[in-house]
């Protein structure tokens, strides 16, 4: 496992982090990736620690606290070795949010309790409207208060779009942010966000590196999903486009001992601005496959340029009616 600095936070993280949305399951009616084997999820977390994973990314919204609870219960003996990154502000699947100082402080205390720790390494705003963060300064002041109190080591933002990321870095001074970035969603590259972060010293945690599993090559356009699996909410047309995408990159993968998932993760890690990528992992096999991508290193410049060319020659998102 290789490690990178998380912006100017002074925190070093594993290139491959553990995306913990899925292990939150359908607790309290939450929607994630369908039923979860709790025992296997805990074994996956422990195998990740053994593989050198230090970054564990979650949110109080994932399983309405259940993801944090599983992390806290399982990783408490390893607290000194792991980086807990969690998020606040998202209330429900309908998109209701609360970034008031009162709610953020309450949310932080709840996250600390569930994670069974007295500090959180990285506390992130969960997809707020960027104009809300820019107005008044209360949100940033609240985060700074938490940091000064020693309850968080650093703070960041999970942005709705790369354009919001530009504002977060350029105008608000965030030096750590999450954004979508993968083989078939390269808006962070096209918008100049990656370039801005590289030159400013800010860092990106690349989320959705496997596009909800579709870049593994294991799904087809006709696959069905459990009622509590969020992928069922996407249109058949959109799922078909994502399921077909891996075939476009097969010529670049052929000839090397790597899986489609490993190739996809290596692409994300081919950009200096990306400190880590956080594939969702539910079982030990996911952990073994994904963590091995770090040792393979980034893609060559030539291969990376071919990936970008394929992306720009194709459409991967269905048009909205």
Which sequence positions are flagged as catalytic? 62
Closest CA to 117 of 77, 88, 174, 166: 77
Helix (H, G, I), strand (E, B) or coil at 73: helix
- Token digits for 273? 């601005």
- Residue 163, Cβ neighbours under 10 Å: how many? 16
- Is residue 69 within 8 Å of residue 59, measured between CB atoms? no
What dihedral do alpha carbons 148, 133, 197, 253 form, nearest 10°?
A: 110
- Token digits for 130? 């960027």
The rounded distance, in Å, linking the Cα atoms of 279 and 267 is: 13
Q: How far, in Å, are 167, 197, 318 from residue 144 at the CA level?
A: 19, 21, 40
- Residue 147, Cβ neighbours under 10 Å: how many? 15
Helix (H, G, I), strand (E, B) or coil at 146: helix
Closest CA to 110 of 140, 80, 83, 89: 89
Closest CA to 169 of 192, 145, 186: 192
Considering all CA atoms of the chain, what is the largest pairwise distance in Å, rounded to the nearest integer?
55
């Amino acid at each position: 496992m290789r490690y990178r600095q998380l912006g100017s936070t002074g925190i070093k993280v594993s290139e491959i982090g553990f995306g913990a949305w899925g292990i939150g399951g359908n607790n309290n009616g939450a929607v994630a990736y369908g039923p979860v084997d709790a025992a296997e999820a805990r074994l996956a977390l422990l195998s990740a620690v053994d593989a050198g994973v230090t970054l564990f990314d979650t949110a109080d919204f994932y399983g309405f606290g259940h993801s944090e609870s599983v992390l806290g219960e399982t990783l408490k003996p390893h607290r000194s070795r792991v980086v807990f990154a969690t998020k606040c502000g998202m209330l429900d699947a309908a998109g209701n949010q609360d970034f008031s100082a009162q709610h953020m402080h309450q949310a932080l205390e709840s996250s600390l309790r569930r994670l069974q720790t007295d500090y959180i390494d990285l506390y992130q705003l969960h997809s707020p409207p960027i104009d809300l963060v820019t107005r008044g300064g209360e949100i940033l002041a609240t985060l700074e208060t938490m940091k000064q109190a020693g309850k968080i080591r650093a703070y960041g933002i999970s942005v709705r779009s790369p354009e919001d990321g530009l504002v977060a870095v350029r105008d608000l001074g965030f030096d750590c942010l999450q954004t979508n970035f993968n083989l078939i969603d390269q808006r962070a590259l096209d918008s100049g966000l990656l370039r801005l972060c590289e030159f400013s010293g800010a860092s990106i945690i690349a989320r959705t590196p496997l596009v909800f599993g579709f870049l593994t090559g294991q799904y087809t356009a006709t696959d069905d999903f459990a009622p509590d699996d969020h992928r069922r909410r996407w249109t058949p047309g959109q799922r078909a486009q994502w399921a077909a995408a891996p075939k476009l990159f097969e010529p670049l993968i052929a000839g090397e001992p790597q899986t489609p998932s490993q190739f996809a993760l290596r692409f994300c890690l081919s950009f200096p601005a990306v400190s880590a990528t956080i594939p969702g992992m539910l079982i030990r096999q996911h952990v073994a496959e994904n963590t091995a991508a770090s040792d393979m290193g980034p893609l060559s410049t030539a291969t990376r340029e071919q990936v970008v060319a394929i992306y720009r020659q194709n459409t991967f998102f269905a048009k909205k009616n």
